Chain A
């Protein structure tokens, strides 16, 4: 009990506190950061339109949109798998699990081969007579990557809750005259909310801090905050600014998560009251 606690304090809380301290230190090339309690790095990030537009807005936009898209696509797949008879869910579920357990770098590699100019998607679009679209090294490419990586995290908890929905409830709704859509929105969807919340929270937290995807699919053109913190620290050697970006990103992700949970809780409660 004692050992794990000390371990977490020493290797998680101390480094995080250290990062906060670093973000409030002065930066001078060639010498280690000196703690002065300055907020200049935060001020630099949060007032410069360049950082706000390129890094902050890109990060928020891409992580929110990708989470919503992953939820829609993942929900369809999870719903289909959950509707299958139990003995036939195994193959599809295990493929989703395999996809989840393959390293992110490898999955991005596969996507890049598929999306690169002259690749399968490109050729298919040309074949269909569609105008040429640049996907790789654009925001669209990064978005596709974020959605692809996030889907398994959304699908798996949803299969669990959707398969647990009692069919008798759906039959009851249909017996009082509700059609398929009405039954879905009034019965199935509310019951699946815990799975929706669990999946989207993981997807959002992962995507807000995405590093490998913008790095390999954005070609340095699509700047997200996680990647910026990395470049600032390892390439520029500006640890204080990197730390300020990192702490800002952490707080941003926690605030958006809190707002999301608050909204879900409130709508869910009013929905229950109305029903």
Chain B
């Protein structure tokens, strides 16, 4: 409901709703419906229904005090931060080399680092899982993080490559000619210039990891389940209001992350527009 009013209030300039406006409102309602329904179900006193019949904050509070969910959220967050940090760190030298490398080498590098985008992530997860089970007999949190680094790396490689294309090599040469070491040149000249690409890449990697399901479902160790896996296992058997409440907190978390991205680099990183 909120969705439709948000759209129609946006076009107060046109007194008569256009066909496009109506169709777009329906499409928008479809996009946001699951999120609103989850929140509605979380505020419901009795069973899992939407629209809710009797409102309560009981489940929302209960979700915050149930240790296993809080742990799950923490694990998801830590995995996403570590994976995004490593994939951005790895992507930096790759993107910088891509700029200087001869075309043939650049093509091989691009293919190597973009390869994970071509393979469905569930199949890569199966591959990594079978190797690790064969080698170690178990899976653990660092293996899960390794999986996340692989699937998130294409994003920082791409965003950093996009900014290095506009980088003037003369600036780095100038720093070198006045005696700056390569490291010094990198820190005080190159890095500040490519900072937007680095931040955008990190955030993309973070969201991809935070959002991941298929890698985690294979590589999650039993005792350290990230939040999505925990929710998934509940959903396989029963729907409880507390799961809706946990999900609602997670939606709020995602909304805050999007807000931060909007403030830091703008939402244009998602629509691919360079401003």
Contact = CB atoms under 8 A, between A and B. Distances in A.
Determine the main DSSP class of A at the interface with B: helix
B194 interface: no
Contacts of A4: 90-91, 93-94, 113, 153
B211 A15 contact: no
A104 B23 contact: no
B126 A250 contact: no
A96 B207 CA distance: 14
A109 B235 contact: yes
B27 interface: yes
Interface string B161-174: 00000000000000
A208 B28 contact: no
Contacts of A113: 37-38, 41, 48-50, 239, 244
Interface string B33-65: 111111001000000111100000000000000
Interface stretch (A72-80, A171-179, A185-193, A267-275): A72-80
A94 B258 contact: yes
Contacts of B97: 1
Q: How large is the interface on A (under 10, 10 to 19, 20 to 34, 35 or more residues)?
A: 35 or more
A160 B272 CA distance: 6
A101 interface: yes
A32 B137 CA distance: 11
Interface string B151-192: 001000000000000000000000000000000000000000
B126 A233 contact: yes
A132 B118 CA distance: 41
A142 interface: no
Contacts of A246: 120, 122-123, 126-127
B32 A99 contact: yes
B141 interface: no
Contacts of A13: 112, 115
Interface residues of B, number: 87
A68 interface: no
A222 interface: no
A174 B145 CA distance: 54
Contacts of A105: 213, 228, 231-232, 235
Q: What is the predominant secondary structure among interface residues of chain B facing chain A?
A: helix
Given A101-B207, A113-B239, A242-B126, A106 B38 contact: yes
A98 interface: yes
B172 to A, nearest CB: 16
A102 B251 contact: yes
Contacts of B94: 1, 4-5
A152 interface: yes
B267 A152 contact: no
A97 B11 CA distance: 21
B139 to A, nearest CB: 11
Contacts of B38: 106, 109-110, 113
B121 interface: yes
Given A113-B41, A114-B34, A239-B130, A216 B235 contact: yes
Interface of A: 1, 3-5, 7-9, 11-16, 18-19, 22, 32, 73-74, 76-77, 79-81, 83-84, 88, 90-114, 118-120, 148, 151-152, 155-157, 159-161, 163-164, 195, 198, 205, 208-209, 211-212, 215-216, 226, 229-230, 233-234, 239, 242-243, 246-247, 249-250, 253-254
Given A73-B30, A102-B35, A160-B268, 20 more contacts: A5-B109, A76-B23, A77-B31, A84-B11, A92-B10, A94-B259, A96-B31, A97-B258, A101-B254, A103-B213, A104-B228, A106-B247, A109-B38, A109-B235, A110-B36, A110-B41, A212-B217, A226-B120, A239-B130, A250-B120
17 contacts: A5-B112, A11-B150, A19-B123, A32-B134, A76-B27, A77-B24, A83-B20, A84-B10, A92-B7, A98-B255, A101-B254, A102-B211, A103-B213, A109-B239, A110-B38, A155-B31, A198-B272
